[in-house]
Amino acid sequence: MPSLVPADAVLAAAWALVALDNARQERSEPEARAAYGEVVAGWRRVPAALRALYVAATAAAVVLVERRTGRWTGPAPLTAAGVVLAAAGAALHLRARRVLGALWSDVIAVRARHEVVDRGPYAVVRHPLYLGILLLASGTLCAHPSPATACVAVGIGAGMAIKIPLEERALRRALGGAYARYAARVPALVPRLRRGRP
């Protein structure tokens, strides 16, 4: 299906852009990260080599499943909608990553001088990074429907469903009333249609 090749190229570029941007930003922020102090709540960081191995193993599994099961055919409008959704998710993730800056971590990590970030996309939802990845995964499934992309989308959704409450608990414990007030004002993942007091 040659008509689907451009969509697949856009999807691959969106995922690669998010991964490479996170890696580049992380390498440029060690001093700024150190200024926030030691991690006081959260998880131990996974070594970079193990993270790279995990990503490579996941990609290999996706390719293997894709080759064995193939893909489903979908209507062209669904493919187009998926590409738009994936691009929007990548753009949101990149923007949120810039706003979060040195407070970003690939694991839950609350630092000694952590602060509530409530500007940019964080003024609309508390977890725009995760929303961006969920949109990217959903868009990928729509534009490239297959058992492999379905597994990835479901896996990402399940991971977010586990990680978000744990992260919220750590932030509430470490930041107290400041985070509680922010959480009362800003929804977790789904933006409010009307702005106003909760």
Specify whether the CB–CB gap between 156 and 136 falls below 8 A. Answer: no
Counting beta carbons within 10 angstroms of the beta carbon of residue 92, is it exposed (0 to 12), middle (13 to 18) or buried (19 or more)? buried
Domain ranges of the chain: 2-185
Token pair in block for residue 153:
């989308």
Looking at residue 196, what is its pLDDT? 54
Q: How far from the centroid of its chain's Cα atoms is residue 157's Cα?
A: 10
Percent of the chain topping pLDDT 70: 95
Looking at residue 148, what is its pLDDT? 93
| Strands, E assignment, the chain | 39-42, 109-111
| Distance between CA atoms of residues 89 and 111, nearest Å | 27
pTM, full prediction = 0.88
CATH class of 2-185: mainly alpha
Average pLDDT, whole number, for the chain? 90
CA distances from residue 167 to 66, 109, 130, 163, 174 in whole angstroms, order as listed: 33, 8, 12, 6, 11
The 10s digit of each residue's pLDDT in 12-29 is: 999 999 999 998 998 899
The 10s digit of each residue's pLDDT in 72-125 is: 888 999 999 999 999 999 999 999 999 999 999 888 999 999 999 999 999 999
| Distance between CA atoms of residues 194 and 96, nearest Å | 21
CA distances from residue 106 to 7, 8, 26, 66, 110 in whole angstroms, order as listed: 28, 26, 10, 27, 12
